[in-house]
Each structure stands twice: as C-alpha cells, then as structure tokens.
Amino acid sequence: MERISWHQYFMAQSHLIALRSTCERLMVGATIVRDKRIIAGGYNGSVSGSAHCIEEGCYVIDGHCVRTVHAEMNAILQCAKFGVPTEGAEIYVTHFPCLQCCKSIIQAGIKTVYYAKDYKNHPYAIDLFKEANVEAQYIPLEEQTLNLIGK
C-alpha cells in the first residue's frame, strides 16, 4: 500500500476537523503545521459556552454568520492560548480563507496556506497574501485519500 502524501494527510485532517463544526451554512476545518507536525486544529463554531448555530440558527449580518469563530482563527487562538509559536508555520484549510482570516494568518506569521476549495476568494485577500509573501496554494482533497480512511 502506498502512503498518502503529506499534503493529503494534513488536508484530510482539516476535513475531519470540519466535521465538528456547528455552523449550518458551511463546515470548515483548519490544521496548522510546523515541520510536518500538527500544532493546532480548529473548526468554525460558536464562542465557548455560547449558543451554537445548530441549536439556535445562524446569526447572519450582511451575509455572514457572526455567531461563529472561523476555523483558521480557532486554530491560531489555540496556539496563542497554549503558547505555541506560529511563525513560519503552514495552514491547511478546507476552504479559501475569508478576508479577516487572511489578515490573521499574515499577522500570525504563517507563511503558506493550502486550501481544498475556492470560497468567495476575496481579491484583496489574494493581494494581501502576495504583499506579505504568504503562498496560497490550491490542494484539493483527493477522493482516494477518503477511501483510505474508510478501509
């Protein structure tokens, strides 16, 4: 049996994490990696102790659910909470990051973003990544990776 690539391994992890999402509109997962080691994971869900979208519905303002903390932010905040440096790390995300997460990724010192699906890719986010020398690379989750998980 052939081993899956590192990209597929970490992207599969992000898809698995997304299954914990409590947002009904879009399930997103993120995995932060440094030196081929997972240092944090996050999914989009409500603030700890607060009501979840699956319980009370999405709280939408200007087309965005404001009830949730995004997956990327939850992963970055997990690193901050436990004192894990993110400088030079990579992040694997199920969907292209929103503009606010893009800015947080840059500020956290993360140097590469791998995403499996395009999602409202904001032109300014793309420009900011380029300006900050953050590589954004499309890495779709291969169907065979999911098949390996089920065996």
Active site residues: 72
DSSP state of 133: T
Spatial CA neighbour of 114 closest among 131, 97, 132 = 97
Cα-only R_g, the chain: 15
Is 28 in contact with 18 (CB distance < 8 Å)? yes
Label the pairing between strands 64-65 and 60-61: antiparallel
Residue 131: which residues within 8 A CB-CB, separation 6 or more? Answer: none
